[in-house]
Amino acid sequence: MTAEAVRAEAAEYTVDGVRAAAAPILRRLAAGAREREQARAYAFEEVRALAERRITLVGIATADGGAGGSVRDVADLVIAVARADSNVAQALRSSFLTANQVASRPDLPHRERTLRRLRDGDLFAGTGNERTGGASGSVNTTIRRDGDGYLINGEKYYSTGALYASWFSGSAKDENGTVLGFTVPVDREGVQRLDDFDAVGQRLTASGTTRLVDVRAFPDEVAVRDMSTVDSPWLGSFAQLYLAAVEAGIAAAVLDDATWFAREKARPIKHSTADRSVDDPYVRETVGQIAARAHAARSVVLLAAEALEGLRGLSGARARAAGAAAAVTVAQTGVIAIESALRAAELLFDVGGGSITNRDLGFDRHWRNARTVANHNPRQWKASVAGAYHLTGEEPPTTGLF
């Protein structure tokens, strides 16, 4: 497709246009979040509607057929989705990570093909995680030559978003021990998606097992994963920022529920001086504390997004120095976003009395969801790495978790 054709096709997509189109869908998501969690019902209709509005084109240059916009625009959109339903935001993580790779890496293998899929509204799932007894990060999934292609065998866990996706990406080790990346359609023979994720929170992220049994992959679906030549090796910073944005969205959702309950349901305690809960000074103080934490989480996420935006176009030593600094900024953001969401979710129950704990309200999901997102990567490590950087200049690890 020519550049002119791409621009013509994408003309209808802008950051503001995508946000406006997504707004009514997000309202529906928010309205049904509690019921879906209680019934373990997935938001297939709403997620498909968001994909059809091309939300993953935000952050991709218009010259590439995207909606334009910055990393900050992407983070702001993710916060909005997580505010409506953090399960859906988490389920879309692989799709947004794929879009970010397209936006930030002109050298991305099979970039044009991936762009085409994003422009078509396809969603992606992917993981390198396994539960096969090896050390964290080890790859036991195998890929071996077979005729004009490959055969893949193994199991991946935390396949976030797999039930919503059209494509599954993972890593596998070939006969020589080389780790290769692959992307195959989820409906290809041998791809089995299991709905077996059973954490205390984020239960509807479709993050269970993907079993790969003699899955055929073609040469244009496989690429060597070699990051040794990149100037800034902290390629996981956007993925970590995404988790912080989900936490910020959870904190915002807590504020929504706190204000709704105080206005519509709560009654002043017997010895209160107020006739309405919204006039009780302690309810006001509690809601103000929740609002402050939601504000803090959102602010640090957007600031870190600007730091990542600043990396684009840099090369050599400048790219490495800026990449390390940005990775530390994202790590610090993770600490604040996690702690803000957890504290806000706890404070929610101080807005009312015993009735606010009723199971039919489902307010406990906010803490459970925030806690589950936080457990992706320990915030103690994030704080320690940030401290080492400030004290000694030590660079963050390049594991993808900073």
C-alpha–C-alpha distance, residues 357 and 141, integer Å: 44
Sequence-distant (6+) residues with CB within 8 A of 372 are 199, 200, 201, 202
What's the pLDDT band for 4 if we cut at 50, 70, 90?
Answer: low
Say whether both 24 and 79 belong to one domain: yes
Q: What is the CATH number of the domain that holds 170?
A: 2.40.110.10
- Mean pLDDT of the 35-62 span: 97
Bridge partners, 151 (sequence order): 144, 216
Answer whether 251's CB lies under 8 Å from 340's CB.
yes
The tens digit of pLDDT for each residue in 343-393 reads: 999 999 999 999 999 999 999 999 999 999 999 889 999 999 999 999 999
Q: What is the CATH number of the domain that holds 37?
A: 1.10.540.10
Mean pLDDT score across all residues of the chain: 94
- Give the residue with greater pLDDT, 232 vs 6: 232
Residue 397 has a pLDDT of 96
What's the pLDDT band for 134 if we cut at 50, 70, 90?
Answer: low
Task: Give yes or no for residue 53 having a pLDDT over 60.
Answer: yes
What's the pLDDT band for 226 if we cut at 50, 70, 90?
Answer: confident
Residue 2 has a pLDDT of 55
- Give the residue with greater pLDDT, 364 vs 6: 364
Say whether both 40 and 161 belong to one domain: no
Say whether both 48 and 149 belong to one domain: no
The tens digit of pLDDT for each residue in 14-43 reads: 999 999 999 999 999 999 999 999 999 999
Phi and psi, residue 234, nearest 5°: -90, 70
- Percent of the chain's residues with pLDDT above 90: 89
Task: Give yes or no for residue 8 having a pLDDT over 50.
Answer: no
- Give the residue with greater pLDDT, 229 vs 21: 21
Answer whether 206's CB lies under 8 Å from 186's CB.
no
Say whether both 331 and 264 belong to one domain: yes
Say whether both 246 and 380 belong to one domain: yes
Sequence-distant (6+) residues with CB within 8 A of 259 are 287
Say whether both 210 and 300 belong to one domain: no
Q: Which two structure tokens, joined as six digits, stand for 188?
A: 């290809």
The tens digit of pLDDT for each residue in 153-202 reads: 999 999 999 999 999 999 999 999 999 999 999 999 999 999 999 999 99
Answer whether 232's CB lies under 8 Å from 323's CB.
yes
Last residue of one domain, picked from the residues 224, 257, 272: 224
The tens digit of pLDDT for each residue in 100-121 reads: 999 999 989 999 999 999 999 9
Lowest mean pLDDT of 168-177, 221-230, 296-305, 377-386, name the range.
221-230
Domain of residue 204, residue span: 142-224
